[in-house]
Structure 1
Amino acid sequence: MKANYLDVGGTRSFVLEEGHGQPVLCLHTAGQSGVQWRDVQSELAALGYRVIVPDLPGHGRSEPAPAGPVRDLAVYAAWCEELIDRLELERPFVVGCSIGGAITLQLAVRRGDRLAGAVAMAAHGGTDAGAQKLTVRGLERELVDSAAPSRSDRTYFGTLAVVGSRVPADRAELIARMHRREDPEISNSDLIGWVTHDVRSQLPTVACPVHLVVGADDLWLDPADVRVAADLVPGARYTLLDGIGHYPMEELGDAFAPTLHGWLTGLGDRTEARA
């Protein structure tokens, strides 16, 4: 395992690498960090991948973005492109969840011809009925402490609410407590990016294999919207996870790495078939 601080996009950025072989870039959710992949990275590396887990600017151990908290997910996508070039990753897979899934789809749109494939979880490239409950005005208001005196509690209970029904109680509790450590300014800025981004009109142009994944218990998304997005991407696959919510890589525990390996193998087979 190798941990580095790299200058990416003008930000001193923390990047964890483990393993050798086909590169896989793993992207975290809003307000979180690469710690979300702690139970996946070693198992995935053991399956023959070079696993790259960054903390996006302003998250985890990365320093803030030069212009402050990011409100446009395209900025994160450009940062990821620079990271891919900086590490000289040749035809990597990209896997992300929530805003990480949205960034994954943006990368597929922007440089799909240079990716081996993309797995976007809990995202479909645009806003939906669940996300519309969040507004830029409301999220900005929550940045004022007096308007939201219990933000950490709301993060904790909100996370519990979107964890799937089949996740053991102790696992759900751990996920929620880990999420409680978020910086509200960063989280809300990420969510502003979430409710304002939309690349759905460009999904038919994606040039790499794509697999869209959504939990049946995800209160933030309507699985039907994810299915529609999958239909827009040429040849895309769609998976609905019963009893799973918004964070598959955390909720599935030890089962996630082999599951993701199967998804990536399927994408790789389709890449070879296209060649």
Structure 2
Amino acid sequence: MRAHDVRVAGSRAFVLEEGAGTPVLCLHTAGQSGVQWRDVQSELAALGYRVVVPDLPGHGRSEPAPHGPVRDLGDYAAWCEELIDVLGMERPFVVGCSIGGAISLQLAVRRGDRLAGAVAMAAHGGTDRDPMLSVRGLERELVDAAAPSRADRTYHGTLAVVGANVAPERAELIARMHRREDPEVTTSDLIGWVTHDVRSGLPGVRCPVHLVAGTDDLWLRPADVRHAAGLIPDARCTFLEGVGHYPMEELPGFAATLHGWLTDLARRSR
């Protein structure tokens, strides 16, 4: 395993890299960091991949974005494009979850001809329809006094969207790891989540795509995921029974599952 500090888009980014072979860029969820891939990266590297796990700007050990917390997921996609070039990743796979899944779809739209394929988990490429999330409500949370228990709400909210098949002790660990996030960064990420929309570009995607969602994910409607898959030429769509919003953290042996999806993407990209 190798740790890098690389300069991307005007600030220093922390990146973990492991293995050699076909490059795979693994993207984390809102407010979190590359630590979400800690149980996957070594196993995936052992299967013959060059696994690259960055902390997005302002997350984990990466420096903040030069102009403050990011509210446009397109900015993260542009950042990932630069990171791919800086690290010399030739035709990488991109795999992401939640905002990471949305960024993966944006990358497929923006530079699909330069990707081997994309796996977008817990994302459908469009504006979120959850009535509990709105830009106005999220902006109120940026005022400290308006959200004094953000860490606790992150903890309990994470538990609520972990799937029924996850052992209680594992769900507890996931929730406690998640509550360490920066509330300002997370809220800005969620503003990006509820305002992004790349659906108009999905029919023109020029790489194979696999959309994945858990049946216990309260953040997504299965119909939206199926609709997005229908817009992308020859896209695959998988629903994971008893899994919630975080497949890479919830599913034991997730690296092997992902390897199967990537193998299929590679076959279809030839």
- Return 5+ residue gaps in structure 1 as ranges: none
Quote the Cα distance in structure 2 between the aligned partners of 1:264 and 1:216: 21
Read off the aligned partner of 1:140 and give its amino acid letter. Answer: E
Deviations 1:40-71 (A, max 9, x none): 00000000000000000000000000000000
1:65 alignment partner, SS class: coil
Tell me, yes or no, if structure 1 residue 187 matches structure 2 residue 186: yes
Quote the Cα distance in structure 2 between the aligned partners of 1:37 and 1:213: 16
Deviations 1:220-274 (A, max 9, x none): 0001110110010000000000000000000003x200000000000001012xx
Quote the Cα distance in structure 2 between the aligned partners of 1:127 and 1:246: 17
Read off the aligned partner of 1:51 and give its amino acid letter. Answer: V
Quote the Cα distance in structure 2 between the aligned partners of 1:60 and 1:49: 23
Which position in structure 2 is the counterpart of 1:34? 34
Which position in structure 2 is the counterpart of 1:79? 79
Tell me, yes or no, if structure 1 residue 206 matches structure 2 residue 201: no
Report the Cα offset of residue 167 of structure 1: 0.4
Report the Cα offset of residue 109 of structure 1: 0.1
Which position in structure 1 is the counterpart of 2:255? 257
Which position in structure 1 is the counterpart of 2:57? 57
Tell me, yes or no, if structure 1 residue 227 matches structure 2 residue 226: yes
Structure 1 runs (4+) greater than 4 angstroms displaced: none
Which position in structure 2 is the counterpart of 1:47? 47
Read off the aligned partner of 2:45 and give its amino acid letter. Answer: A
CA contact (8 A) 2:128 2:193 kept: no
How many residues align? The count is 270
Normalising by structure 1, we get a TM-score of: 0.97
2:154 alignment partner, SS class: helix
Q: Percent identity?
A: 79
Which position in structure 2 is the counterpart of 1:167? 166
Normalising by structure 2, we get a TM-score of: 0.99
Report the Cα offset of residue 143 of structure 1: 1.4
Quote the Cα distance in structure 1 between the aligned partners of 2:9 and 2:40: 27
2:212 alignment partner, SS class: strand
Quote the Cα distance in structure 2 between the aligned partners of 1:159 and 1:202: 31
CA contact (8 A) 1:128 1:222 kept: no
Query: Counterparts of 1:141-152 in structure 2 under 5 Å?
Result: 141-152=140-151
Report the Cα offset of residue 128 of structure 1: 3.2
Quote the Cα distance in structure 1 between the aligned partners of 2:127 and 2:111: 22
1:12 alignment partner, SS class: strand
Report the Cα offset of residue 133 of structure 1: 2.5
Read off the aligned partner of 1:158 and give its amino acid letter. Answer: G
- Return 5+ residue gaps in structure 2 as ranges: none
Deviations 1:147-169 (A, max 9, x none): 11111000000000000000000
Quote the Cα distance in structure 1 between the aligned partners of 2:220 and 2:87: 33
Which position in structure 1 is the counterpart of 2:265? 267
Quote the Cα distance in structure 2 between the aligned partners of 1:89 and 1:148: 40
Which position in structure 2 is the counterpart of 1:67? 67
